[in-house]
């Protein structure tokens, strides 16, 4: 599958100074892997199939046919609280921008997957631990609003430590804002698939991650509301190994399926295909209004 | 120890001295008016000094004050309340109390988080930390309200959603996400009041509302100050500092447009006049409902959308 | 509260031949109770407040203001399967008719409760153990259809051993039939309160009993899907005392509230009152169609 | 021991003798055509005698035959299947398998009860007896189907809903009631096929459908024959008698208008030609869907209402 040059460039890693930096140790099986091999294998350990966390643009390259038009990329975080802890918040943002080559914790846009046009959002743990601040919330909201306008299915990959503390309550409110956008998208007949990747917790898991029509999780991803450490401190005992894993959640009925990364694109193509039957979304209020020829909701309401 | 309770000690001592003096004066033929007045002036001075301007950390402690009116106090002050229990699937979570109610004659569905007053009740109510079943009870009650056309009134007071094993096993994240999802779609007015601690997503799950009210000394925060301090500096002891950074007071939130109205508390906090405070909260809720019930359902939902849509959107 | 003569007559018990028959033993506390006292106390043991099962017309007398207009009373069971076990089914029906002074296991009609007009259904365990055959299903269905047409709230008291075996699959299908009627009533903005009384199990508990907007249960009533004996045989152990009681279900979140019989009428009056706000039932499809002035569903569909 | 398996023994013996004879004939230069034909004639005679007209009790045993095609066999025969798990709240009940599917090129949501074939699988699937979570999975999938406009196809095969303590604790009755409630409202076509045992409410919870199909030797009953016998005569041993009384065969149910179409099985039952039977069931389902997908949603719901409305209504 051809990948446009610019997409690859977005993630072109700096050439490491020494040869050793070309090698990475798998955190699961401990084997040393040559980084170009790892990248070629979609960041899956060839030895134990451990799924490394992926850069948003690597993920996009892996998924989309060849096109990707970013939206909301111009939105950049401010410092609404004038936050500082060890270092000022703007400085942290600057550091993360450099480290991750991203402008914020989510990349949103339009693309095709297996020929089907979709609205696609991909979170990235490399940027402030994938936390949701105002920009992540705004980009996700715009994604669902655009998907609604264009009648596109929406796919969101989540990876998040929760709401971003440095933006305080403005960050928490993004849970409400994104929820309203997802709900309106859904009520209008929209089809939404979320893919929970390692890790998906806190305010993101408790909003749009768990509001999809179909919820996938990448194999062995950590997923939950409270962090593992918080729970262990609360109950004062060690948690079982598989607790809060994708496989655990599948058994507990919380998610639809667990997918190995190598099968992800194929699975998404099939899931998108089922949604093509979605010509007659009957239970959504807006869709019903539309179906019976009633006047549409005010455009103003999309403000 | 609660920092406010600590600070109240001197005042309580003074109160007792004034009371003793008054008793004494009533029994003896000596005029103690001057002494009493002097003490009362001193009392008022100290009170102003202690409570006149409170730091964010003091507000946190006020919000957690053991005598502060709880969710069930507001429920008890309604004209009428008929509790509806359970999520219909697994359990009745007592951390959330909900049911049909009349608020100043108006039929509503009222939902409150309740921390419990004494030890036994605290355990029963899991210290006000709802489990997934609590949020699923909320979903059910909001659907009922929607079906019957009744406004929804919520009282928010929780340190956060329960972080236990069972809650994770039964999909706490999904429960909160779906509670938000339900409130987003309700075609009836929703008024939420943060009465004590508004702890993160576990609080917001009851506060995606058309009007968000807040008591003066309540707090509403993206994370608990202790939790934030632990993450930021690896030291929960720096909670006071975190409290300042988090901008969790009613003034801050009013300014951010996150809270629509702040309901004043008496000097010294809500627990100095619980009956009065509860009444003024209910009056404010009633007021908010009056403005909302005249709005057509679709318009109501549109306004709700726009209200939250603005928060953190780029300036235009 | 005055009770019309005819209503009292429907349940006038034959004068027992001997004085002893005037006394009943409480199955819970064992005390001997003078039957007229028991009747005067709404069939609640004055000693231990055990709730005796009630005759449908006693229940109606206890609840309604003074009026009660029965509907569906003309519907009488046939013998669609030509059923016979120890005795032929028609003979069992005849016996139950005599014993219970009822024509079938449910009495339906219109009444007022505390001044509010309602559609009211009351099942009676005295008739074939409250089992649901075609007539029970038909009467309940007509009740909800009438309530829908007249925009009345609907209250149903359940007491049932499940679907009626002697009418085979025709009985089971009443679960589907009543469900469709309840759902249409609900979608059209109807308000439905069910009151589960001792015992409510099987096909009735698994259909309209658990489809109400508000579900009450009488104190200490046995409620469940499978019968207690079936479960004990399956798991080969004794069940805890409170298993499948109203109080147990309350704790397990299955029902809204448990009510003592003495407080029942007052509670229902309050619950009905809350429903008066139900002017704007917005999420029901039919109500929505109506609200926006779309043509109503075909009358034919009410067949 | 299954009564059909018992009766099959003689036939299997005969089958083996014919096979042996054929092998022998192929290896020897003697003409055994006549002998083979005689045995084959005898085989056909016995087969007709044994399976030509079956009693209700025999049908019950056929429906429970250990080799009968199970829910998962139908799922496996679909063009494509992507399983969706769980009720989102508590557990993934493996007694019910459901997900997206393609049936002869048509996108559907397929849902099957599955009893499990070997011991390990039987335990995993709780012998096909769904727990509340199973029915709640059904509800969720039907809502998804409704949202996407996909028809729902169900395969019914259960001795009944799970009667265990946990299932009662988690409100089995409510789960079934709500499954029916959801099917009642779906605006997409629903086709249910009773492929084996249609055990009471636990089966009906997947069969409130626009078209109800039934395999010839499947049964569909208000109660299990054993359960009925226990209640009627206090003797589960009289199940055979109860089976006759209950009118649970496909002929009976077609006559009552409870079943819309009976799909024939080969002589000797579905397990004599599982591939063929599964294919003919899927063809019948596809056929039913073709007629239903052209109907407008409101009309579809109205017809569904009238279909069940008629059952047990007074003749007019
Ligand atoms: Zn590895
Ligand atoms: Zn007694």
CATH number of the domain within which B226 lies: 3.90.226.10
**Per-residue CA distances from D282 to B6, B25, D186, D203 (Å):** 75, 97, 22, 19
Q: Which ligand is nearest to the CA of A43?
A: 1
- Examine the domain organization and report whether B169 and B69 are in the same domain: yes
Same domain flag for D215 and D271: yes
- Unique residue bearing structure tokens 């005042």: B11
Query: Which C residues 243-262 touch D at CB under 8 Å?
Result: 243-244, 249, 252-254
Cβ contacts of D147 on chain A, cutoff 8 Å? 186, 189, 191, 213, 278, 281-284
pLDDT of residue A234: 80
8 Å CB contact between C284 and C188: yes
Contacting subunits of A (3+ beta carbon pairs below 8 A): B, C, D
Q: Does B205 touch chain A (CB under 8 A)?
A: yes
Residue A287 structure tokens: 């869709």
Both B128 and B16 in one domain: the answer is: no
Cα–Cα distance measured from residue A267 to residue A270, given in angstroms and rounded to the nearest whole number: 5
User: Which of B32, B53, B74 finishes a domain?
Assistant: B53
Q: What is the pLDDT of residue A281?
A: 42
**Chain C residues lying within 8 Å of B144, measured CB to CB:** 213-214
Which stretches within chain D are classed as H helix?
3-27, 33-51, 56-63, 71-76, 119-124, 132-148, 165-169, 172-185, 200-204, 225-233, 239-245, 250-256, 274-292, 297-309
With CB atoms and an 8 Å threshold, state whether B171 touches D136: no
User: Which parts of chain C fold into alpha helices (H)?
Assistant: 5-10, 35-40, 56-63, 89-100, 134-150, 168-187, 202-205, 228-235, 246-251, 264-275, 285-291
Residue D142 lies in a domain: yes
pLDDT in tens, C232-245: 888 888 898 899 99
Asked whether residue D279 falls in the same domain as residue D145, the answer is: yes
Distance from CA of B56 to the nearest CA of D (A): 38
In this prediction, what percent of chain C has a pLDDT beyond 70?
Answer: 84
How many CB pairs lie under 8 A apart between chains A and B? 183
Q: How far is CA B167 from the centre of its chain?
A: 23
* Chain A contact present for B161, CB below 8 A: yes
In whole angstroms, what is the distance from residue D233 CA to residue C86 CA?
8
Residue in chain A nearest C287 by alpha carbon:
A285
Q: How many domains does chain D have?
A: 2
Using a CB–CB cutoff of 8 Å, tell me whether C288 touches chain B: no
DSSP secondary structure letter of residue A16: P
D27 with D128, same domain: the answer is no
Report pLDDT for B25: 85
Which of D177, D179, D247 to mutate to test binding with chain C, by most C CBs within 10 Å of its CB? Answer: D177
Provide the pLDDT for residue B41: 92
At residue C300 the predicted structure's pLDDT band, cuts being 50, 70 and 90, is very low
- List subunits contacting chain D, requiring 3 or more Cβ pairs under 8 Å: A, B, C
**Cα separation, B270 vs B283, whole angstroms:** 15
Q: Residue B240 is encoded by which pair of tokens? A: 């006071």
Q: Which of D171, D173, D181 sits opposite C179 (nearest CB)?
A: D181
What's the pLDDT tens digit per position in A249-264?
999 999 999 999 999 9
- Residue of A74, A202, A206 to mutate for B, most B C-beta atoms under 10 A: A206
Three-class DSSP category at D101: strand
Q: Are B89 and D90 within 8 A, CB to CB? A: yes
Say which range, C63-67, C275-279, D40-44, has the weakest mean pLDDT: C275-279
D103 vs chain A: nearest CA distance in angstroms? 12
pLDDT band at C2 (very low <50, low <70, confident <90, very high): very low
**Cα distances (angstroms) measured from residue A280 to each of A274, A288, B113:** 13, 9, 40
Q: Tally C–D CB contacts below 8 A.
A: 185
Tell how far the Cα of D300 is from the centroid of ligand 1, in angstroms: 54
Per-residue pLDDT tens digits of chain A, which is 303 residues long? 445 666 666 665 655 556 667 899 999 999 999 998 999 999 999 999 999 999 999 999 999 998 899 999 999 999 999 999 999 999 999 999 999 999 999 999 999 999 999 999 999 999 999 999 999 999 999 999 999 999 999 999 999 999 999 999 999 999 999 999 999 999 999 999 999 999 999 999 999 999 999 999 999 999 999 988 888 888 888 898 899 999 999 999 999 999 999 999 999 999 999 998 554 444 444 554 444 444 444 433 333
Q: Is B169 on the interface with A (CB under 8 A)?
A: yes
Q: Is A103 exposed, middle or buried (0-12, 13-18, 19+ CB in 10 A)?
A: buried
Of A276, A225, A232, nearest to B230 by C-alpha is A232
Residues of D within 8 A of A277 (CB-CB) are 107, 148-150
pLDDT at C247 exceeding the cut of 90: yes
C254·D172 Cβ contact <8 A: no
Q: Are residues D126 and D207 in the same domain?
A: yes
Averaged pLDDT of chain A: 88
Enumerate the domain spans of chain A: 1-52, 54-293
Chain A: residue whose CA lies nearest to D182: A283
Using CA atoms, how far residue D270 sits from B74, C92, D12, D40, in Å, is 65, 39, 16, 21
Q: Is B315 a domain residue? A: no
Q: Are residues B39 and B110 in the same domain?
A: no
For residue B314, list chain A residues with Cβ-Cβ distance below 8 A.
75, 138
Q: Which ligand is nearest to the CA of A49?
A: 1
- Chain C neighbors of B137, CB-CB under 8 A: 253
> Which of B85, B92, B149 lies at the smallest CB-CB distance from C280?
B149
- Whether A294 has its CB under 8 Å from any CB of chain C: the answer is yes
Q: Does A293 touch chain D (CB under 8 A)?
A: no
Tell me, in angstroms, the distance from the centre of ligand 1 to residue A48's CA: 4
User: Cβ of B143 and C283 within 8 Å?
Assistant: yes
Nearest chain B CA: its distance from D301 CA (Å): 21
- B122 and B247, same domain (yes or no): yes
pLDDT tens string for chain B (316 positions)?
Answer: 899 998 898 899 999 999 998 888 888 888 888 888 999 999 999 888 888 889 999 999 999 999 999 999 999 999 999 999 999 999 999 999 999 999 999 999 999 999 999 999 999 999 999 999 999 999 999 999 999 999 999 999 999 999 999 999 999 999 999 999 999 999 999 999 999 999 999 999 999 999 999 999 999 999 999 999 998 898 888 999 999 999 999 999 999 999 999 999 999 999 999 999 999 999 999 999 999 999 999 999 999 999 999 999 886 5
Q: Are residues B117 and B260 in the same domain?
A: yes
Residue C279 reports pLDDT greater than 50: no
Instruction: Tell me the ipTM for this assembly.
Output: 0.94
C165 lies within 8 A of chain D by CB: yes
B279 part of a folded domain: yes
Residues of B in contact with A173 (CB under 8 A): 204, 258, 308, 311-312
Q: Looking at beta carbons, which residues of chain D come within 8 Å of C243? A: 165, 168
DSSP state of A240: P
Q: Which of residues 223-262 of B touch A (CB under 8 A)?
A: 223, 227-228, 231-233, 245-248, 252-253, 256, 258
* Residues in chain D with pLDDT values less than 50: none
What is the pLDDT averaged over residues C3-27? 69
Residues around the ion ligand 2 (C-beta < 5 A)? C 26, 28-29, 45, 47-48, 50
Residue C13: its pLDDT value, please? 60
pLDDT at D27 (0 to 100): 86
The domain of B18 spans 3-53
Distance in angstroms (rounded) separating the CA atoms of residues C170 and C83: 13
Beta bridge partners of D98: D111
- Looking at the fold, whether B19 and B133 belong to one and the same domain comes out as no
Residue in B86, B87, B88, B89 to test binding to D, most D beta-carbons within 10 Å: B89
Global confidence as pTM: 0.94
User: Would you say residue D172 lies in a domain?
Assistant: yes
8 A C-beta contact, residue B96 and residue B114: yes
The verdict on A288 touching C (C-beta cutoff 8 Å) is yes
Cβ contact D148–A254 (<8 Å): no
The predicted structure's pLDDT at residue A16:
54
In this structure, how many other beta carbons lie within 10 angstroms of the beta carbon of residue B272? 16
Q: Which position has the token pair 């709230």?
A: C153
Residues of A in contact with D300 (CB under 8 A): none
- CATH 3.90.226.10 correct for A54-293: yes
Task: Give pLDDT tens digits for C23-33.
Answer: 999 999 999 99
C168 and D200 within 8 Å at the Cβ level: the answer is no
What gap in Å lies between CA A135 and CA A127, rounded to an integer? 12
* Number of CB pairs, chain A paired with chain D, less than 8 A apart: 83
Residues B71, B216 share a domain: yes
Which A residues in the span 125-164 are in contact with B, Cβ-Cβ below 8 Å?
Answer: 133-135, 137-138, 141, 163-164
Q: Which residues surround ligand 1, an ion (CB under 5 A)?
A: A 26, 28-29, 45, 47-48, 50
Are D82 and A255 a contacting pair at CB < 8 A?
Answer: no
D147 within a domain of the structure (yes/no): yes
Ligand approaching nearest to the C-alpha of C28 = 2
Closest CA to A213 of D108, B144, D88, D113: D88
Residue D90 sits in the same domain as residue D106:
yes
Touching subunits of C (3+ CB pairs, under 8 Å) are: A, B, D
Strand D190-199, strand D219-221: pairing: parallel
Cβ proximity of A169 and B253 under 8 Å: yes
């Amino acid at each position: 599958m051809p990948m446009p040059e610019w997409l690859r460039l977005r993630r072109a890693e700096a050439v490491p100074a020494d040869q050793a930096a070309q090698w990475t140790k798998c955190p699961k099986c401990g084997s040393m892997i040559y980084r170009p091999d790892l990248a070629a294998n979609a960041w899956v350990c060839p030895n134990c199939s451990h799924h490394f966390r992926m850069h948003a643009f690597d993920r996009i390259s892996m998924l989309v046919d060849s096109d990707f038009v970013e939206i909301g990329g111009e939105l950049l975080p401010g410092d609404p609280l004038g936050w500082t802890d060890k270092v000022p918040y703007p400085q942290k943002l600057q550091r993360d921008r450099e480290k991750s080559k991203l402008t914020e914790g989510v990349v949103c846009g339009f693309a095709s997957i297996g020929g089907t046009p979709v609205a696609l959002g991909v979170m990235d743990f490399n940027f402030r631990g994938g936390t949701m601040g105002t920009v992540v919330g705004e980009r996700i909201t715009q994604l669902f609003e655009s998907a609604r306008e264009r009648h596109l299915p929406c796919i969101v990959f989540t990876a998040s430590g929760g709401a971003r503390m440095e933006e305080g309550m403005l960050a928490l409110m993004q849970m409400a804002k994104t929820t309203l956008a997802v709900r309106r998208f859904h009520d209008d007949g929209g089809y939404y698939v979320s893919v929970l990747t390692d890790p998906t917790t806190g305010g993101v898991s408790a909003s749009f991650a768990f509001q999809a029509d179909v919820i996938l999780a990448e194999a062995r991803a950590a997923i939950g509301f409270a962090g593992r450490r918080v729970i262990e401190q609360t109950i004062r005992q060690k948690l079982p190994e598989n607790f809060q894993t994708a496989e655990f959640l599948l058994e507990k009925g919380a998610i639809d399926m667990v997918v190995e990364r190598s099968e992800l694109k194929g699975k998404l193509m099939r899931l998108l295909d089922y949604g093509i039957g979605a010509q007659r979304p009957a239970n959504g209020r807006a869709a019903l209004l539309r179906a019976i020829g009633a006047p549409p909701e005010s455009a103003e309401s999309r403000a | 120890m609660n920092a406010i309770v600590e600070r109240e000690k001197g005042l309580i001592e003074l109160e007792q001295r004034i009371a003793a003096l008054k008793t004494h004066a009533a029994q003896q033929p000596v005029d103690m008016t001057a002494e009493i007045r002097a003490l009362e002036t001193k009392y008022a001075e100290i009170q102003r000094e202690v409570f006149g301007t409170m730091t964010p950390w003091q507000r946190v402690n006020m919000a957690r004050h053991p005598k502060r009116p709880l969710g069930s106090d507001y429920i008890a002050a309604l004209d009428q309340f008929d509790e509806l229990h359970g999520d219909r699937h697994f359990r009745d979570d007592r951390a959330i109390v909900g049911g049909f109610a009349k608020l100043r004659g108006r039929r509503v569905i009222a939902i409150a988080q309740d921390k419990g007053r004494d030890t036994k009740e605290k355990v029963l109510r899991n210290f006000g930390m709802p489990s997934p079943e609590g949020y699923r009870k909320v979903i059910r009650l909001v659907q009922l309200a929607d079906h019957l056309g009744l406004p929804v009134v919520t009282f928010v007071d929780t340190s956060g959603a329960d972080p236990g094993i069972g809650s994770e096993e039964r999909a706490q994240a999904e429960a909160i996400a779906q509670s938000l999802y339900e409130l987003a779609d309700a075609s009836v007015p929703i008024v939420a009041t943060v009465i004590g601690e508004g702890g993160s997503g576990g609080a917001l799950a009851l506060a995606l509302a058309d009007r968000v009210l807040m008591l003066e000394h309540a707090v509403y925060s993206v994370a608990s100050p202790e939790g934030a301090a632990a993450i930021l500096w690896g030291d929960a002891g720096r909670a006071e500092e975190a409290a300042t950074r988090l901008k969790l007071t009613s003034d801050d939130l009013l300014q951010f447009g996150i809270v629509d109205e702040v309901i004043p508390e008496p000097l010294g906090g809500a627990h100095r006049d619980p009956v009065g405070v509860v009444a003024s909260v209910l009056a404010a809720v009633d007021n908010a409902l009056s403005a909302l019930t005249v709005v057509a359902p679709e318009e109501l939902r549109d306004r709700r959308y726009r209200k939250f849509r603005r928060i953190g959107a780029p300036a235009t």
